[in-house]
Amino acid sequence: MFLIFLILVKGISVNAYDTPNDDGSSVTVSWESDIPYSSILILRSEQKDGVFEPICEARVGRNDYQDTLIVRGTFYYYQIKAMTDEGEIISAITGPTVASVQVFNTGRLNIFVAIIILFAAILFYISRAKREKLFIRKIPALAAMDEAIGRATEMGKPVLYVPGIMDIDDPQTIASMSILAKVAEKTAAYGTTLYVPTARAMAMSMAQQVVKEAATKVGRPDWYIADNIRYLTDDQFGYVSGVDGIMLREKPATNFYLGVFYAESLILAETGHSTGAIQIAGTAMPDQLPFFVAACDYTLLGEELYAASAYLSQEPVQLGSLKGQDLGKLIFIFVILAGVIAGIVGFQGFYNLFISVH
Amino acid sequence: MHFFDRIAKIDRRIIFLLIGLAVIIPLIAPLGLPVDITAPVKSVYDRIEAMPEGSIVVVSIDYDPGSEAELYPATLAFLDHCFRKNHKVYMMGLWAPGITLGNIAFQEIAPKYNKEYGIDYINVGYKPGGAVMLLTLGRNVADVVATDYQGLPIDSFPLGRMVKNSRDMDLVMTFSAGDPGILHWIIYFNARFGTPIAGATTAISAPRQYPYLSSGQLLGLLGGLKGAAEYETLVGRVDRATAGMDSQSIAHVVIVLFIIMGNIILVWEHRRKK
Amino acid sequence: MKRTLPLTIVLGCGIFMLIAFFVPVRWFQDASQTLQTWYLGVIAFFVFIGIFNLVRINVLKIQHKRRDWQFSIFLLIFLAGMLLAGFIGGPDGTVFLYLFQHFQIPLSATMFSLLAFFVASAAFRAFRARNPEATLLLIAAVLVMIGRVPIGVWIWKGFPSLVEWIMSVPNTAAKRGIIFGIDLGLISMALRVILGIERSYMGGKD
Amino acid sequence: MLTTIGIWIAAFLTLSIYSFLYKDNPFYKAAEHIFVGVSAGYWTVYLWFNYALPNLFLPLFRDGNLWYIIPVVVGFMMFAPLIPKVSWLVRIPLTFTMGISMSLFILQIVQGDLLPQLQATFLPLTGIPPFQVFSNILIILGVIFTLIYFYFSKPHKGALGVAAKIGIWFMMVSFGAHFGYTVMARISLLIGRVFFLLHDWLRII
């Protein structure tokens, strides 16, 4: 009786199985030991009563090993040997195990489902937006835009538009360009000068095109001056000192900072404030929002930058995606509430749905 | 001219001067304010203490000279702790300039504990490619790491041979100044492979990490120079981070006074308009 | 051609990578790995073009003797020096590392540290409690600034725990909400780009 | 000796940049341009040796893998805008990289951000101390109200308006905290430079 007890306590058990969700290139060997060991030796054989060859020595602290040196379709048997203070301990043989191909990674099913839901929501509303007009709430900073441009016109001073320091493949720059189109329309209509310095060559050509089209649209093609939309330099600090120079020389009455910003946000907002300009900022860079909020008159917070671009352009695609994102947010809220309730009633299964297998 | 008017129009160079003095004077004449320890720093320290000797710590130097002031002292304190506990340090970097900085740190700490390159620590160099690279690294280290930073074959070093994939990494410690950095380690590496991630970040990116701390995706966090000073205190090495804390304190007080002064002027201007 | 080919590429690469994530079959994994390697190589060119533009603009500046053109000579000399050192001695060569350590490190660190002065002057001149929101922001900022440094503990023992609570409760909640919003925005933008619904980044009319 | 010269150069450049605080001057301008030149050179060298060479040119020229002609050609298309006639070719590298990065982005945002962050918000409200319950409720409500602020499909009136308003307050506290940390970071950098000047250069501390 005592002996049996000892074996049960001081045992080492091994288990081998086809590694889930792989292409059939490995077998996972896992073990449990009740006794501290200094090293583990993994042995393998193709026959249960054959010769077991060592294939790997595992480090302490690990309790599994992926055997990738296998032939797919071959059956394997495993056994492990642990070195302990009391000598070698050998486990029972486990097997046969065979590796096989999986076509779908079931460990990532929850990711798959989440993506499908989000895609469906966005695409559904995009297609609906093409048929009917979707509502987007007013965004306070945008109402201020007209007023700010009007003020510059009254004072006879220019408007400065900074589209961020990233290139046109960044979503924020894309959003900024559709806001620029509206700003350009307004300034062109009033005949107010508009400066757009950029930090990327491609952003410059896009901005030129956007502004030119806006001028034509309001019937003022003569207003457009290509030289006011200039590429300064790719370098962050070089760009900022260039923009600062424009602010100090031309003294614009209204500054827009919309797009991607890093450390330069503070320098821009501080200089702009010192020249007495009305400042409207917007970025989805959470790190830079505090400076804009504290030093600018109006700030588009995070996702509002995208919403503003949808609101102004009234393009079905943008409006529809925004609506789809809103549905996503509603789903999130319900999921959070459901999760909290599941916690209260002690339903762990709901919690586990959100874990993806490593 | 009213007093407040004159203050409001003060030359900003005077403000610059005051800030300069607030930093310089306490460095020359320290006050010796004690450093308090916060929970996210303690949990990094505790993990290093708790891991068995010989554990492999991946140290990723994801910053450049622009953030050296904040992150280099943390790097020193952390390496000191790892070597003292006889852990093995596997260094890499997501930012090119980080590798040089990491090597300078090794030169400063390793001799103190008689640690040998290739056995106790190694530097596998700059690994570009951000997310894509991390996903490959976790799956199969050899796909990304063929040599160490000097171009010597990785298999010629005992420590190089020990790290095959994410399962051989007991902890990843990133010293991160931005992008790519800590966020990549969390949402790509930890999510895909489950390896515990801890980090030291610039103070700017520290608040952004709190959601990940509370979700457990991030094990612990050293925020800015203060985080480094806390770690120095825990490890018992009084160095430049701790020395800087007095300046940090005084400069903060000066800036807070500026904010208060600015707002008193705002209130005063409002009153006068009425 | 000018539009269809690029749109086919973005659609093909995007959809393939999405599928490969869920399908552990070897062929898919290898192909997605190759595409990722190519991607790493190609993105280097994005920076090369930026540096090319930098050189071009400075050469033009010198040619036309625009304001401060003399300084552009410094820029080009040091750029050339760095390139020579790097391409002849390699990225771990002595000269390259020397330039890095004694030029790049101090310059870049000092440039960013200038912001300490600007933040002080902004604190005085620009950061005003104009409305309830800005007031709340400034109060939280002041609490964190004082509570996060040793002098805070000296003023009041409870400061560190108060700040830690602000960071891990209201800050975490708001950051998480913001992250959800931004993530949704990015996912929808990414989907539109892959499906070719969003194509403004290509610029041009044709 | 070389190191000493290096420290003197570094100190000179540091002071040149700080001279800008007094006023813009040739020393600052020179230091700024040197900075831009050095870092542009640095990045070119590093990207060449770490991105372009190992991922494109070595496989092509050393290993003779002809497939790698494709990405090399695609990479060079970045320069297409210099020739107006074929400038549209720049769209090929652009769409190629966007296709890859956008899809990876979607996958990782969902796996690494959305699912774990949602899960982390399922906070327990029972069996923990009262203050913890209060904090947890605050986090849950804070996340929900912030999300409501970013809900654009309905006007912010009535209950929705109140919720959105509370959402803003949460965000403002968070921005304030962030603000404080950013100030901290900038001051730390200044401390780093002053430490260098006083310790490494002047050796008075």
pLDDT confidence of residue D76 = 93
- Whether the CB-CB separation of A60 and A19 falls below 8 Å is answered with no
Predicted structure pTM score? 0.87
Per-residue model confidence as pLDDT tens digits over B221-231: 999 999 999 99
Cβ–Cβ < 8 Å for C108, D32: no
Of the partner residues A273, A317, A328, the one whose CB lies closest to the CB of residue C192: A317
Question: C residues 52-91 near B, CB within 8 Å?
Answer: none
Q: B34, B223 in Cβ contact below 8 A?
A: no
Q: Which helix (H) or strand (E) holds C95?
A: helix C94-99
Nearest to A287 among B54, B192, B205 (CB): B205
**A177-A183-A189 Cα angle (round to 5):** 135
Does D94 sit within 8 Å of A138, measured CB to CB? no
Looking at chain A, the domain(s) classified CATH 3.40.50 span 134-313
Nearby residues of B51 by Cβ (< 8 Å), 6 or more positions away = B57, B85, B87, B170, B171
The alpha carbon torsion through B200, B204, B207, B211 (nearest 10 deg) reads -70
Task: Tally Cβ neighbours within 10 Å of residue C194.
Answer: 25
pLDDT band at B236 (very low <50, low <70, confident <90, very high): very high
Put simply, whether A276 touches B (Cβ < 8 Å) is no
A278-283/A254-258 β-pairing: parallel
8 A C-beta contact, residue D42 and residue C100? yes
Query: If phi over 0 gives left and psi between -120 and 50 gives alpha, with beta otherwise, what is residue D48?
Result: alpha
Taking residue B91's Cβ as centre, other Cβ atoms within 10 Å add up to 25
Query: What confidence tens digit (pLDDT) does each residue in B152-198 have?
Result: 899 999 999 999 889 899 999 999 998 789 999 998 899 888 999 99
Name which of A303, A330, A340 is nearest D123 (Cβ-Cβ): A340
Q: Is the pLDDT of residue C204 over 70?
A: no
- pLDDT value of residue A120: 96
Using a CB-CB cut-off of 8 Å, the residues of chain A touching C130 are: 297
The beta-carbon neighbor of A326 closest among D81, D152, D178 is D152
Mean pLDDT of C161-182: 93
CATH architecture classification, A12-97: Sandwich (2.60)
Full residue range of the structural domain in which residue D203 is found:
123-205
Cβ atoms of A292 and D179 within 8 Å: the answer is: no
| Contact map slice: A 282-311 vs B, CB within 8 A | 286-287
pLDDT tens for residues C72-92? 999 999 999 999 999 998 887
- Say whether residue D50 is in contact with chain C using an 8 A CB cutoff: yes
Residue C171 in this model has a pLDDT that exceeds 90: yes
pLDDT at D87 over 90: no
How is residue D166 written in tokens? 């509370």
Residue identified by tokens 């480090």 is A59
pLDDT tens for residues D65-79? 899 999 999 999 989
pLDDT of residue A6 exceeding 50: no
Mean pLDDT of chain D: 91
Would you state the pLDDT for residue A1? 39
pLDDT (mean) for B141-146: 86
Asked whether residue A134 carries a pLDDT value surpassing 50, the answer given is yes
Architecture in CATH of A134-313: 3-Layer(aba) Sandwich (3.40)
Residue B197: in which H helix or E strand, if any? strand B197-201
Residue A15 has pLDDT above 50, yes or no: yes
**pLDDT tens readout for residues A151-205:** 999 999 999 999 999 887 788 898 899 899 999 999 999 999 999 999 988 888 8
- Establish if D93 belongs to a structural domain: no
Chain C nearest-CA residue for A233: C54
In this predicted structure, the answer to whether residue A9 has a pLDDT above a threshold of 50 is no
Does A61 contact B204 at a Cβ distance shorter than 8 Å? no
Say if D81 falls within a structural domain.
no
Q: Do C178 and A263 lie within an 8 Å CB cutoff?
A: no
Q: What is the predicted ipTM?
A: 0.87
D86 within domain boundaries: no
For the domain made up of B39-238, the CATH class stated in words is alpha beta
**Are the Cβ atoms of C184 and A325 closer than 8 angstroms?**
yes
Residue D131: inside a domain, yes or no?
A: yes
CB-closest option in C36, C46, C202 to D100: C36
Amino acid at D171: M
- Counting the structural domains of chain D, the total is 2
State the pLDDT at residue A3: 42
Q: Across residues C183-200, what is the average pLDDT?
A: 88
Q: Please give the residue of chain A at the shortest CA–CA distance from C18.
A: A112
CATH 3.40.50 spans which residues of chain B? 39-238
Average pLDDT score, chain A: 86
Range A67-71 average pLDDT: 78
Is residue D80 a part of any domain in this protein?
no
> Under an 8 A CB cutoff, do A111 and D148 touch?
no
Chain C residues close to B61, C-beta within 8 Å? none
Asked whether the predicted pLDDT for residue B10 surpasses 60, the reply is yes
Q: Chain D residues with CB-CB distance to A under 8 A?
A: 32, 35-36, 39-40, 81, 90, 94, 97-98, 106-107, 110-111, 114-116, 118-119, 121-126, 140, 143-144, 147-156, 171-172, 175-176, 178-179, 182
Q: What digits encode the pLDDT tens for the residues A259-315?
A: 999 888 988 999 899 899 999 999 988 888 889 998 899 999 988 998 898 898 888
